[in-house]
Chain A
Amino acid sequence: MENNLPPRGVVLVVDDEPGVRALARRILEGGGYGVLEAGNGVEALAVINSKARVDFLIADLDMPVMRGEEMTRKIRAMRPELRVLYVTAHSALLFKERPELIEGEAFLDKPFTMRGLLEAVSLLKSGYIKEPPPPPVSPLRRWLKALSGAKTR
């Protein structure tokens, strides 16, 4: 069982639109994440209550049955360490309901790109985007920079 754990964690994707969930699943699984799905806030709370492993929550804000903001408030009361990415087609609504995001929360505009979604989850996870670090400055470039600086003096 342990060997089957996704390398980068498990994301619970909550969206009432099955196509959006399918899209997020394709992108996230391609990025090395495990994915669980819920179609509304009540289903999401059931997943959390089931004690299934969930490391990140991706929450649509504009959902029937239970609004995304209310859902995340209830989930974070149970799992305060859970990191939340709000995905919304209307970010103005998010900032009206939540003028300030707290630590461990971020938002992403819908439509999102593959890179945008993976970077947002990576940022939530580690505080930085998982990309190769910039190449170090080569001794030649350092020498040229010093040389050009010397000329301007």
Chain B
Amino acid sequence: MTIEPASVHRLKNQLAIILGFCELLLSDLSADHKHRADVLQIQTAGRTALNELPPLATEELESLGRTPEAPDGE
């Protein structure tokens, strides 16, 4: 199964948000908080999903952000 470069980019952004808020939550939850293990599960799943994303080649990277509404240059 291949994933479009733009989808890889969007997924990476969404996983960055999930992992970032997991870290914020974990920094607030005490070690024995009843939801700590749940947040750790989300964090682990997020990291696993991130590692599943394929790296993008340079030409794929260059195509990012060049959406129809994006003017090229000035």
Residues of A within 8 A of B (CB): 17, 19-20, 22-23, 26-27, 61-67, 70, 89-90, 92-93, 96, 110-114
Contacts and interface: CB of A to CB of B under 8 A. Distances in A.
Interface residues of B, number: 25
Interface of B: 9, 12-17, 19-21, 23-24, 27, 50, 56, 58, 61-62, 64-65, 67, 69-71, 73
Contacts of B56: 90
Contacts of B65: 61-64, 67
B24 A110 contact: no
B15 A111 contact: yes
Given A20-B13, A65-B70, A114 B61 contact: no
A91 to B, nearest CB: 10
B16 A20 contact: yes
Contacts of A70: 73
Given A65-B69, A96-B61, 13 more contacts: A19-B14, A20-B13, A20-B16, A27-B20, A62-B9, A64-B67, A64-B70, A66-B70, A93-B58, A93-B64, A111-B12, A113-B23, A114-B23
B2 to A, nearest CB: 18
A116 B70 CA distance: 30
Contacts of B20: 20, 23, 27, 111-114
B70 A89 contact: no
A7 to B, nearest CB: 20
